[in-house]
Amino acid sequence: MKKIILFLIFLTITIYCLSEFVGDRIIKQIVESNISNSLDRDTEIGDLKINYLKGEAIAKDIKLNNKKFSEELFSIKNAYVKLDSVSIFSNIIKIDKVDIDGLNLNYFFKLKIKGLNDYKNVDDNVKSLDKTMIEGSGKSTSSKQFNISELNVRKINLSVNNPELKISDQISLKDMKFKNIGNTKNSNDYKKVIRDVLKKIVNVVKTKIISSKLTDKLDKIKDLNKDKIKEKIKDKLKDKLKNKLKNLIN
C-alpha cells in the first residue's frame, strides 16, 4: 500500500513538473510560431510562465520584428493572461482577460521622393503589416481559434524614427481597451482590430510629425542644398578668375 501511495505521489510530482517546466516551453514555442505565421514576422517571447491550476499566464519581453526596417515593430514588457487552462488543449482557447503593461511601438519611415506631399510618398513599417492583415501571410497557421473577452493595454509609447532626416520622437498614446476579440464566429476579428490600431498610429504620425516637423526638416535640407550650390558657384568663379590672371601674366 505504501509503495502505491509513494508511486502516486511521485507520478503527481512528475506530471506537475512536466506541465510547469516542459509544458511552458512547448506552449511558448507554439505561441511564437503561430504569431509569427499569422503576422508574417518573427516573434520572440522572453519568458512565459503558466499556472494551470489558477488559469493564469505571465509573459515578459515579447518582441515582434520588422521585415524591411531594423529593430522590432513593437515590444511588450509584461502581459498578464487570465484563461481557461483546459481550453489550451481544445479547438477554441478561451481567454477571459489580457492586461498588457508597457507597449513600445516603433514607427520607421523613409521618403520615396525628395519632396513630400502626402502619406502616399512615405514608405514605412506599418503598410506591409496592414497588407498582411488584408491578404494573409501565406504561411500555414494553427487551426486553433481563440477569443479574448477583455484586452487592456496601458503605458503605450510610440517612437517615430527616420535616421536620414535625424528624426527620433517619442509620443505617449492613450490606454486602449477592447472587448471580445479573436478569430471565432462570435469574435470581433482581431485582424480588423489590428488594422484600426495601425490607422490610429498613422494618423498620430501624420498630425504630429509628417505635417509639421518633417516639413521643417525638408526645408532645412533644401536650404543646405542651396548653400552648397552657392559655394560651388563661387569656387568655379574663383577658378576661372585665376586661370584668366595666369593667361594675362603669361
| pLDDT surpassing 50 at residue 2 | no
d(CA 107, CA 126): 7
> Mean pLDDT of all residues in the chain?
77
Tell me, what's the pLDDT at 28?
A: 86
Helices (H), the chain: 2-17, 23-39, 127-135, 190-205, 213-249
Q: Is the pLDDT of residue 234 over 60?
A: no
Higher pLDDT, 212 or 207: 207
- Would you put residue 61 in left (φ > 0), alpha (ψ -120 to 50) or beta? left
Of 74, 79, 91, residue with least CA distance to 39: 74
Q: What is the pLDDT of residues 82-93, one digit of tens each?
A: 999 888 878 899
pTM equals 0.71
Higher model confidence: residue 4 or residue 196? Answer: 196
d(CA 91, CA 142): 10
* pLDDT tens column, 185-205: 999 999 999 999 988 888 888
The three-state secondary structure class of 21 is helix
Give per-residue pLDDT as tens, 111-128.
Answer: 765 554 555 667 888 888
Handedness of CA 192, 212, 104, 175 (dihedral sign): negative
Percent of the chain with pLDDT over 90: 32
Q: What ranges do the domains of the chain cover?
A: 2-211
More confident residue, 59 or 112: 59
> What's 86's DSSP letter?
G
User: Residue 115 has which C-alpha cell?
Assistant: 519632396
End-to-end CA distance of the chain: 121
User: What angle, rounded to 10 degrees, do the helices at 127-135 and 190-205 form?
Assistant: 160
* Adjacent-strand bridge partners of 109: 124
Is residue 57 packed enough to be buried (19+ CB in 10 Å), middle (13-18) or exposed (0-12)?
buried
Query: Rounded CA gap, 38 and 212, in Å?
Result: 35
Q: Which band of pLDDT confidence, cut at 50, 70 and 90, is reported for residue 7?
A: very low
Residue 6's pLDDT band, with cuts at 50, 70 and 90, is very low
59 pLDDT higher than 60: yes
Q: Where residue 44 falls among pLDDT bands split at 50, 70, 90?
A: very high
